[in-house]
Amino acid sequence: MAVERTLSIVKPDAVAQNNIGEIYRRFEMAGLQIIAARMTHLSKAQAESFYAVHRDRPFFTALVNFMMSGPVMVQVLEGHDAIRKNREVMGATNPAEAAAGTIRHDLAETVDANAAHGSDSPETAREEIAFFFGEDDLHSRG
């Protein structure tokens, strides 16, 4: 499996609960390297644009409001099979359905506030990384 990069977000609920370090530890334990990271507070326009693919879904307004409700950590994770591996470490979208030991099972309670985001395909990963970072921000260590 190729070395991939994926965009990860520690969402406002997990930042508010002081879980940044716990989530970063889980990424690193899974063999994912953090090659870029920044704390930011999304504007409404940014949150709407980032989740534009969901704009016609019934939960879109709630999702946007939640994502702009507090600061988030955005990071690029790199590693073998990084996109799938990150989603495995995060667990299912709904914490109630997430496997024990995953971020969403252990650190989140509702599908609205589910602790973490991870890109779902190589194409999405490229777009989402470019949404937050330039090439010069990425510090790949091989």
Site string for ligand IDP, 11-40 (x = CB under 6 A): ------------------------------
Per the annotation, binding residues for ATP are: 11, 59, 87, 93, 104, 114
Residue 33 has φ and ψ, to the nearest 5°, of: -95, 135
- Residues 72 and 13: their CA atoms lie apart, in Å, by 9
For residue 141, the minimal CB distance to ligand IDP (Å) is 27
Q: What are the structure tokens assigned to 54, written together?
A: 């969901």
Rg (CA), the chain: 14
Which of 20, 30, 34, 111 binds ligand IDP (CB under 6 A)? It is 111
Q: With CB under 6 A, what is the number of residues at the site for ligand IDP?
A: 8
Amino acid at 55: R
CB 5 within 8 A of CB 85: no
- Residues 91 and 2: their CA atoms lie apart, in Å, by 22
Q: Is 112 in the site for ligand IDP (CB under 6 A)?
A: yes
- Stretch 51-80 residues interacting with ligand IDP (CB under 6 A): 59, 63
- Residues 88 and 2: their CA atoms lie apart, in Å, by 17
Which of 22, 81, 106, 120 binds ligand IDP (CB under 6 A)? It is 120
Amino acid at 9: I
For residue 87, the minimal CB distance to ligand IDP (Å) is 7
Q: How far apart are the first and last CA of the chain?
A: 15
Active site residue 117: yes
Site string for ligand IDP, 81-100 (x = CB under 6 A): ------------x-------
Residues that bind ligand IDP (CB under 6 A): 59, 63, 93, 111-112, 114, 117, 120
